[in-house]
Amino acid sequence: MLWHQCTLRLTSRPRGFHLVTDEIIAGLPQLRQVRVGLVHLLLQHTSASLSLNENADPDVRADLERWTDHAIPEGARYFVHTAEGPDDMPAHVKAAVLGTSVTLPVREGRLALGTWQGLYLGEHRDHGGGRSVVATLWGQGGPARANDSNNTED
């Protein structure tokens, strides 16, 4: 049984939704040692989110940004917490709605994602800076099987 935990520092990004799948995988070379297992990813911030969604069409990320800005607007009169700027409280609400963690299956040394799935960092502040993700990997190692009948992606 393998257990591994590390903190990954993601590149600073502008406000919006960004694919970070490759960056997460690059920071976890230990994935290759796991035949079957799980990885839990926790974004250590309250004004950004982490989620799984469409990885091919950038319009999806742009649409999510427009929808969240419409549904959770800056400058709403009902927000009291404004000490850190007008984008802070809306960013907290977006993070609460979208979430800050995901748990993913690992199969044969890879994330067992569907063909069109990727990890999104939702950066909800104008100047959020670099973001940290605690990755906890656990699973069974061993040689990869050539024919895994449960290896389906769609």
The two three-digit tokens of residue 86, written as one number: 């007008």
Q: Lowest-confidence range among 64-68, 108-112, 141-145?
A: 141-145
Contact 122, 51 (CB under 8 A): yes
The CATH H-level (homologous superfamily) assignment of domain 2-131 is YjbQ-like (2.60.120.460)
pLDDT above 70: percentage of residues in the chain = 92
Q: Sketch the domain layout of the chain as residue ranges.
A: 2-131
Average pLDDT, the chain: 93
How does pLDDT run across 34-56, given as a tens digit for each residue?
999 999 999 999 999 999 999 99
Instruction: Say if pTM beats, i.e. exceeds, 0.85.
Output: yes
pLDDT for res 142: 73
By the 10 Å C-beta count (0-12 exposed, 13-18 middle, 19+ buried), 80 is classed as exposed
Q: Lowest-confidence range among 89-98, 112-121, 138-147?
A: 138-147
pLDDT exceeds 80 at position 144: no
> Which segments within the chain are labelled E, that is strand?
2-10, 16-19, 34-43, 48-54, 101-107, 110-111, 117-123, 131-141
